[in-house]
Structure 1
Amino acid sequence: MSKEIIAIKKIIIGLGLIIPLYAYANSTQDLIDSSVQKNNDKFVKIFKEIHENPELGFMEVHTSSIAAKELRSYGYNVTEHIGKTGIAAVMKNGDGPIVMYRADMDANSVKETTGLSYASKKIVKLPDGSETPVMHACGHDAHVTWMLGVAKFFAENKNLWKGTVIFIGQPAEEPITGAEAMVNDGLYTKYKIPEPDYLFGMHTAPVAVGIVAAAGGVRMAGTDQFDVTFHGIGGHGSTPNLSKDPVVMAASAIMQYQVIVSRAIDPKNSAVITVGSIQAGTDNNVIPATALLKINLRWFNENDRKTMIEGIKRINEGIAYAYAMPKDQYPTIKFKGWSYPLDNNTELTKTIRTALGNSGLIQNSKFLLDENILPSVMGSEDFHHLVIHNNKKNYSYLNVGVAEPKRFVEAFKQNKLPFNAHNGDFVVDLDAIPFGTKVGITSMLAIFNQTKPE
C-alpha cells in the first residue's frame, strides 16, 4: 500500500461514516451555502452533460463551448481558441489582486464501466486513424463544473472581492501540453490576458466527499513524455539472420532502462521510468522495420531528470551499435509533454487552509490535510506552467474528495482506494459538485482578501 493511502487511512479508520456538514461560521459562508445550493440542479446538469460527452486533449470543442457560453452569461469577457481549444474569462472589479482560476477540460482514452445513466459511450477517432473509447476518468468534468460555479458566485457577489478574476478552461492536461500551448499561443501577449498575482486550481481526489488536501511545498513530480523509435531492417520471420530486429532491440532497451533508476539515481530520491506502450509490426511472420516505445519519466530534481534522459540515449545508441546499425539509423527520440514538479506556495496555501478551517465547510479538522499528513506523490500536472515563466509564480493547487462516503469507508476496510483515477469505474459522487464549488469559492475569496494564516 502506498504511503499516501496509509496516511489517509490513519485518519479514517475508526471514524465511521463520513457525512459532510454544511454549517458555516459567518454570514459570508451562509451566503456561499445558499447560493451554491440554489444553483445545484443547474450545475449537476452541466456536469452530467460534460461527463456524457468527453473529449480528448485539444479536441474539447463541446466542453469549451459550454464553459464559454456560461461564462459570458455571467458577464465575463471571454476569449476562445487559445492554444486551440482553451478559453479565458476576465472580470475586473476595482483595484486589487489579479487572481487566476484554472480548470482542465480533457478526458481519457478509457472505456467507462460505471453503469451510470449518464455514462460515456463515446468512441473517438485518433489522428492515426485508430479508434478509442473515451471517458472522464480523472474528474476534469467536475473541475470545469466547479470553475463555473465559482465564476457565477463571483459575478453575483462583487461586494465580497476587489480586483481582477480570471477563469481558464485549459485543454490537454493529460498529455501535459495544454498549459504551455496556451502560453505559447499568446495567452498574455496576443490575447492580452492579465498576468496573475496568484494562480489557484483544484483536482478530484479518490477519497470521501468532505476531505480536502491543502498542502504546501512540492506536491507532485516533474514529468517528461517522449517516444523512442528503434530502426532496423525488416524481413521474414524465418530468416532473422537477414534482418536487424528492432523488436529485440526495444525489448533489450526496456530492461536496461530500469537499471538507470536502480543504479544511477540516489536511492534517497524518487524517480520512475515507465514504458507505457510498445508498438511494432502487424503480422506473426514479419520482422518489422521499426519499433516504437512510449516512455514516461517522473522526477523531483533536474539532475535525476538529466541522468534518466542521457542514460536512455546511451542505452539506445549502445544497442544500435551492438546490432551494427549505421549511425544515421540510430534510435530517434521525439519529446512531447513535460512539466516541472508542482511546488505550492507555502504561505498562500496556509492562507487558503486557514480560511477553509474557519469556514465550517470541513466537518472535522482531521479531514483538512496538510503536508504533515499527506506526502507528495509521483503524479504530475501542468497547472503551474500557466505562470512559471512569469515574474510572479505564486500558486496553490488543492485536492478535493469526490467519493461517496459510505462506499469509501467500506472500500477502505478492504484496504482499497475507491474511485481511483484513470479507471473505467471512476465516479464523482454528485454531492461533490456543490462541496467542491464551496471549497473553490472559499479559497478564492481568501486569496482576494488575503486572510492571513495563523
Structure 2
Amino acid sequence: FKQFHQNPELGFQEFETAATIAAHFEKLGYAVTTGVGGTGVVSVLENGPGPVVLFRSDMDALPVEELVDVGYASTKIVEDLAGVTVPLMHACGHDGHSAWLMGVAEVMMTLKDRWSGTLILVAQPAEELLSGAHAMVADAILDLVPEPGYLIAGHQMPFWPVGSVALTHGYRMAGSIQMDVVLRGKGGHGSSPHLAIDPVVMGSQAVMAYQTIVSRLVDQSKPAVLTIGSFQAGLANNVIPDSATLKLNLRWYDPAVKDGMLDGIKAVTDNVARMYGVTADDMPTYTIKSDVPPVFNDQALTQRAAAAMKNMLGDDRVLVAGDPYMGSEDFHMLAGKDSSASVLMVEVGSGPPDVLAQMKAGNFPAFPHNPNFYMEPEAVLYGARALSAVLLDIMGKGQPDQ
C-alpha cells in the first residue's frame, strides 16, 4: 500500500503499478494477461464448476499535490497524456484498492479447496477518467474470460471508521458523462473586438446559462449535477482566440434527466452562438468522452454479502450505507452493456476509528480528491478480509450456486 501511495500513476500510465500486481498474480499461480485496455491486468483462476465472479480494483491516481504529512507521501510530478506537467497523489484510495486486490488474490488461492468456480481478478486503469472499463471491453477482455455472473468491487470511504464496511441495495453511484463543448468564433486583435466573434464571451454566457438547466429544466425530485470543470481559451492578453473549450461533467440516476441535461446544453450553446453571429458551418461541437450508467447494487447479493461480512468482521462492523452518492464508477461496465450480472459495490471504512463521532461534532475528514485526503493503512487489511469473505460465500462449496 505504501509503495503504491508513494509512486502514484495517472490513468493509462499505471505501468509500475500494473507490473507489481501482475507479478504477484503470476507468483501465486493465476493465468495472467497484461496490457488489456492499455495497462489493465486480467487474471483468471479456474477452480472447477461453479459461478463466474469478476472482482475489480482500480489503479490510477489524480493530478493533486499531496499535503498529508506522512513518511510515504507522494512527491511525484509527471507529464499527463496531454503533455501538461502535474503533481500526483493517490487522493481517492486506489492505492489501497490495488493493495487489497493483491490480498484477495492470495486469500482465494490459499483457500481454493473451499470454493469452486472461476475467479476473475481485474486491475483496471483510468477509473478517474471513467473510460478504463470501456477501454478494457474495447480491447476484448470478454474474449479472455468467461461471462461473469457477478461483478464486485470495493471502494474506500473516509466517513466510515476503519475496520467497518457499509452497503445497501439499490442505486449507489450516479451515472456520468464527461463531455467537451467547443465554441468557435472569429479571432482578432484585442483592440478591435467589433471585428471578431469572441468565444470567451460566448463561453462565459453559456456557462452562466447552464446554471439554469438543473434548477429550471430538471424535475427537482430527481438528482442531477452539471459541473463545468474547465474553461480553456486563448494564450495572449491582446489576442481574441478562435475557439473556447468547456469541459463538462453530468451526473444523474434517471435516464430522462440525462437526456434533458444534454438537450439543454445543446439548446443553450447553439442559441448563444447564433446570438453572436456564428454561421451554420461554425456552430458548437459536442464530444462525449465517457458515458457510464449508475451503479445499482443487487438486493439478493447485497443481503448475502452483508451476512458473509458479518461472519467475518462482526455484526457491529457491517453498517447500512446511507443515501446514494453523486460520484460515479465504471467497474460494472466490464461485462459489457448487455450483461445481466449481479452487481455489488462495498464501501470499506478508511476513516479514523472515531470518525462518526467527529462528524456528529461537525469535524469532517478530508474527502476523496482533496490534497489532505488520508486513508488509514489498516483499511487495506479489512478490505481484503471483507471482500474475500463475499467471494468465498458466493463460490463456497455447498452454496446454492454450486
TMscore range, shorter length? over 0.9
Is the counterpart of residue 199 in structure 1 residue 151 in structure 2? yes
Is the counterpart of residue 394 in structure 1 residue 342 in structure 2? yes
Q: What is the aligned partner in structure 2 of residue 286 from structure 1?
A: 239
1:80 maps to a residue whose letter is: T
Q: Within 5 A, what are the aligned runs for 1:328-343?
A: 328-343=281-296
356, 379, 383: which one aligns with 1:432? 379
Q: What is the aligned partner in structure 1 of residue 117 from structure 2?
A: 163
> How many angstroms apart in 2 are the aligned matches of 1:413 and 1:312?
39
45, 49, 64: which one aligns with 1:95? 49
**TM-superposed deviation, 1:410:** 6.6
Is the counterpart of residue 243 in structure 1 residue 193 in structure 2? no
Q: Any conservation in 1 of the 2:186–2:198 contact (CA below 8 Å)?
A: yes
> How many angstroms apart in 1 are the aligned matches of 2:214 and 2:356?
36
396, 399, 415: which one aligns with 2:362? 415
4, 11, 19: which one aligns with 1:65? 19
**TM-superposed deviation, 1:180:** 1.0
1:91 maps to a residue whose letter is: L
State how many pairs are aligned.
398
**TM-superposed deviation, 1:390:** 4.4
Is the counterpart of residue 142 in structure 1 residue 96 in structure 2? yes
Is the counterpart of residue 260 in structure 1 residue 213 in structure 2? yes
Is the counterpart of residue 216 in structure 1 residue 169 in structure 2? yes
Q: Any conservation in 2 of the 1:195–1:390 contact (CA below 8 Å)?
A: no
Task: Give the secondary-structure state (helix, strand or coil) at the position aligned to 1:188.
Answer: helix
Q: Any conservation in 2 of the 1:355–1:451 contact (CA below 8 Å)?
A: no
Is the counterpart of residue 321 in structure 1 residue 268 in structure 2? no
Q: Any conservation in 1 of the 2:100–2:380 contact (CA below 8 Å)?
A: yes
1:283 maps to a residue whose letter is: A
Q: Any conservation in 1 of the 2:165–2:348 contact (CA below 8 Å)?
A: yes
> How many angstroms apart in 2 are the aligned matches of 1:200 and 1:250?
41
311, 318, 338: which one aligns with 1:368? 318
Task: Give the secondary-structure state (helix, strand or coil) at the position aligned to 2:142.
Answer: coil
Q: What is the aligned partner in structure 2 of residue 344 from structure 1?
A: 297
Is the counterpart of residue 403 in structure 1 residue 355 in structure 2? no
Is the counterpart of residue 51 in structure 1 residue 5 in structure 2? yes
Gaps of 5+ in 2: none
Cα deviation, 1:2-35, whole Å, max 9, x if unaligned, reads: xxxxxxxxxxxxxxxxxxxxxxxxxxxxxxxxxx
Q: Any conservation in 1 of the 2:142–2:335 contact (CA below 8 Å)?
A: no
- Closer, same or farther in 2 for the Cα pair 1:267/1:409, shift >3 Å? closer
> How many angstroms apart in 2 are the aligned matches of 1:252 and 1:195?
48
> How many angstroms apart in 2 are the aligned matches of 1:448 and 1:166?
12
1:433 maps to a residue whose letter is: V
> How many angstroms apart in 2 are the aligned matches of 1:416 and 1:332?
44
Task: Give the secondary-structure state (helix, strand or coil) at the position aligned to 1:233.
Answer: coil
> How many angstroms apart in 2 are the aligned matches of 1:219 and 1:451?
27
> How many angstroms apart in 2 are the aligned matches of 1:404 and 1:414?
14
1:405 maps to a residue whose letter is: P
**TM-superposed deviation, 1:391:** 4.0
Is the counterpart of residue 378 in structure 1 residue 326 in structure 2? yes
Q: What is the aligned partner in structure 1 of residue 81 from structure 2?
A: 127
**TM-superposed deviation, 1:395:** 1.3
Gaps of 5+ in 1: 1-46
Considering only aligned residues, what root-mean-square deviation do their CA atoms show, in Å?
1.5
> How many angstroms apart in 2 are the aligned matches of 1:305 and 1:131?
33
1:237 maps to a residue whose letter is: G
> How many angstroms apart in 2 are the aligned matches of 1:414 and 1:290?
48
Q: What is the aligned partner in structure 1 of residue 253 from structure 2?
A: 300
**TM-superposed deviation, 1:404:** 2.3
Is the counterpart of residue 272 in structure 1 residue 206 in structure 2? no
Q: Any conservation in 2 of the 1:246–1:288 contact (CA below 8 Å)?
A: yes
More strand by share: 2
Q: Any conservation in 1 of the 2:64–2:369 contact (CA below 8 Å)?
A: yes
- Closer, same or farther in 2 for the Cα pair 1:317/1:195, shift >3 Å? same
Q: Any conservation in 2 of the 1:217–1:344 contact (CA below 8 Å)?
A: yes
1:397 maps to a residue whose letter is: M
Identical aligned residues as a percent = 42
Q: Any conservation in 1 of the 2:169–2:297 contact (CA below 8 Å)?
A: yes
> How many angstroms apart in 1 are the aligned matches of 2:304 and 2:156?
21
Cα deviation, 1:27-49, whole Å, max 9, x if unaligned, reads: xxxxxxxxxxxxxxxxxxxx111
**TM-superposed deviation, 1:90:** 0.5
**TM-superposed deviation, 1:235:** 1.7
Task: Give the secondary-structure state (helix, strand or coil) at the position aligned to 1:349.
Answer: helix
> How many angstroms apart in 2 are the aligned matches of 1:290 and 1:379?
30
> How many angstroms apart in 2 are the aligned matches of 1:387 and 1:217?
19
TM-score (norm 2): 0.96
